[in-house]
Amino acid sequence: MSDEETQQQAHLEVKDLGKTFSGAGAGAENPLEVLGGLDLEMARGDKLAVTGPSGSGKSTLLYIIGTLDQPTSGTVLVEGSNPFDRDEAGLAEFRNSQVGFIFQDHHLLPQCTVLENVMIPLLASGGAGTADAERATGLLERVGLSDRSSHLPAQISGGERQRVAVCRSLINDPTLLLADEPTGNLDHKTADGVGSLLLELAEEQQAVLICVTHSLELARRFPRRCELVEGRLVDLEEGR
């Protein structure tokens, strides 16, 4: 099989996915279905923007794919394997080695330097060596923050903190890069730069990139765009 054929094989397959939240008290009789019959297939290097109104289930979809939440029904396959077949320790290992998360809030540890924050996923998997520190430094250099490596998060700007979060998400060379409103707290110019960075680094690392966003401007920069409508993904036509 050629490299091109291998690349085109589905890396992520979501089949007939459903998620229902049970209410409390009187609401328990009226469970809320946020995802239902949702299908998605993506190969390494594919990039998808997901839009839709608040409460439509965009973040829920992202958290299920990243195994932070459990589906009610359906399956999620990564390289043909269902990560939810693992125990809690196995799921934690899967997230740390295969998934890079970027949230609207950078979630940097305030007491750690920029370099230390980038290396946190490595420390969680058992420690980091000289080569790991070099990789972290290289990522910071790639995003223009090599001169900020010894700074604390409070000593850098919001846009710089989000770039650090992007580096942290990539330190373990994940195959799934999941971004939940990554530019939501940023001004227009900074958001534009972070959006470019996400697309460029995902392409370089041939990761599957799924970005949930309310920003139609950011979504239009993705080669594929979907809207979450009544629990399912609907592909948007070019120029819509």
User: What CATH number did the domain enclosing 143 receive?
Assistant: 3.40.50.300
Residue 240 counted as domain residue: no
Q: What is the pLDDT of residue 81?
A: 94
Q: C-alpha dihedral over 125, 170, 238, 64, to 10 degrees?
A: 20
Instruction: Quote the CA–CA distance of 100 and 179 in Å, as a whole number.
Output: 8
Number of domains forming the structure of the chain: 1
Is residue 157 included in any domain, yes or no? yes
Q: What is the pLDDT of residue 45?
A: 94
Per-residue pLDDT tens, the chain, 240 aa: give them.
Answer: 344 444 467 899 999 999 999 865 545 567 889 999 999 999 999 999 999 998 899 999 999 999 999 999 999 999 999 999 999 999 999 998 899 999 888 889 999 999 999 999 887 766 667 888 899 999 999 888 999 999 999 999 999 999 999 999 999 889 999 999 998 888 888 888 889 989 999 999 899 999 999 999 999 999 999 999 999 999 986 434
Is 83 inside a domain boundary?
yes
Q: Could you tell me the two tokens for 157?
A: 């700007």
What domain range includes position 231? Answer: 3-235
Return the amino acid letter for 141: E
pLDDT on residue 240:
41
Closest CA to 98 of 171, 18, 164, 39: 171
Among 235, 170, 168, which residue's Cα sits nearest to residue 202?
A: 170
How far, in Å, CA of 15 to CA of 78, rounded?
Answer: 12
DSSP structural state of residue 79: T
100 in a structural domain: yes
